[in-house]
Amino acid sequence: MSIQVEGTIERKGFGPGTWALVSTSGDTYELRKAPADLQKEGLKVKVNGEIREDVMTFAMIGPVLEVDRFEIINH
* pLDDT at residue number 16: 73
pTM above threshold 0.85: yes
Strand locations in the chain, DSSP E? 2-12, 18-23, 28-32, 44-51, 64-72
Q: At 12, which CATH number? A: 2.40.50
- Please tell me the distance from the alpha carbon of residue 32 to that of residue 18, in angstroms, as a whole number: 9
Angle at 30 between CA 62 and CA 14, to 5 degrees: 90
pLDDT, mean of residues 39-58:
93
Question: 3-class DSSP state for residue 38?
Answer: helix
* pLDDT at residue number 73: 95
* pLDDT at residue number 60: 82
* pLDDT at residue number 64: 95
* pLDDT at residue number 32: 93
Q: What is the pLDDT of residues 25-38, one digit of tens each?
A: 999 999 998 999 99
> How many domains in the chain?
1
- The residue range of the domain holding 44 is 2-72
Q: CA torsion 62→67→68→70, rounded to 10°? A: 110
